[in-house]
Amino acid sequence: MPELPEVESLAAFLREHAVGHAVARADAASFSVLKTFDPLLTALAGQVITEVGRHGKFLDLSTDQGLHLITHLARAGWLRWRDDLPTAAPKPGKSPLAFRLRLDDGSGFDLTEQGTKKRLAVYLVRDPAEVPGVATLGPDPLAPDFTLDTLSGLLAGRRTQVKGVLRDQSIIAGIGNAYSDEVLHVAKMSPFKIAASLTPEDTAVLFDAIKTTLGEAVKRSAGLAAADLKGEKKSGLRVHARAGQECPACGDTIREVSFADSALQYCPTCQTGGKPLADRRLSRLLK
Ligand SMILES: [Zn+2]
């Protein structure tokens, strides 16, 4: 799933390639992708893209007439830039194509989604706050006003695991399953640590880990074409999706805890005092 660094890079790419161009046409290629009905997609035709922004993991293209085309790529969605898009409307069908935006010079992008669970979402609104997931977002961790005090305030009193706090979009915007694993590995912190139990020193370490991990991922992706971002994310990860491989910091074997529809990865030596965490799914099966 694209998280803050990838969406930030997609926004930067689109700022360079789409801003200043008028929309030729916008088409939903699947019935479920468009979550709004007013204004109509056809209203976009002729409007000039003036800015491309990001809210957490949401991408926001704004136009000269005050509309915002906002998209959330979900778990299996992606944006593919094309210099020469077909002029005809895409046909709804079984292809992974979910949405297409064509600009006045024939370039534009496809939003695609692999797999059978279709969660990619597109919204056309007059105000980004009309998108429910945007309205409830917590602060952006890369914003200059996201300080150590901000993080302390967000963690205080929360009797939940720090992994869950980092992933909760209404607490902190933009960090998902992959970068929460990465941040916790850099901070040498157990994903199961209770947020409220962090000492001021722990919080300072976590704060630095958030800023450096996300900042470096954005830097690594900067200037890459949209097509190359996925590979860059994968090759830059230290523990996420690397169960069974060596920890790049200490050489221990990276382990995994599985949940119903996700899994987290961590290094026991770096993060949990050498002790493997209980994999609840496995222990349930063994009972
Ligand atoms: Zn390690």
Which has more confidence, 104 or 88?
Answer: 104
Which has more confidence, 144 or 92?
Answer: 144
Distance 204 CA to ligand 1 centre (A): 20
Contact 15, 192 (CB under 8 A): no
Q: Which residues of 82-91 are buried (b: 16+ CB within 10 A; e: fewer)?
A: eeebeeeebe
Q: Is the pLDDT of residue 13 over 60?
A: yes
Token digits of residue 35? 């979550």
Q: Is the pLDDT of residue 287 over 50?
A: no
Q: Is the pLDDT of residue 207 over 50?
A: yes
Fill in the amino acid letter for 26: A
Q: What is the mean pLDDT of the chain?
A: 92
**Residue 92's pLDDT is what?**
74
Distance 245 CA to ligand 1 centre (A): 11
Q: What is the C-alpha to C-alpha distance for residues 135 and 120, in angstroms, rounded to an integer?
A: 18
Q: How much of the chain, in percent, has pLDDT values that exceed 90?
A: 80
| pTM of the predicted protein model | 0.92
Contact 32, 24 (CB under 8 A): no
**Residue 94's pLDDT is what?**
73
Distance 52 CA to ligand 1 centre (A): 38
Distance 239 CA to ligand 1 centre (A): 9
Summarised one tens digit per residue, pLDDT across range 270-280 is: 999 999 998 76
Q: Is the pLDDT of residue 37 over 90?
A: yes
**Residue 85's pLDDT is what?**
92
Distance 273 CA to ligand 1 centre (A): 10
Distance 7 CA to ligand 1 centre (A): 28
Q: Is the pLDDT of residue 282 over 60?
A: no
How crowded is residue 123: how many other Cβ atoms within 10 Å of its Cβ?
Answer: 20
Q: How confident is the model at residue 249 (pLDDT cuts 50, 70, 90)?
A: very high
- φ/ψ of residue 266, rounded to 5: -160, 165
Summarised one tens digit per residue, pLDDT across range 64-84 is: 999 999 999 998 899 999 999
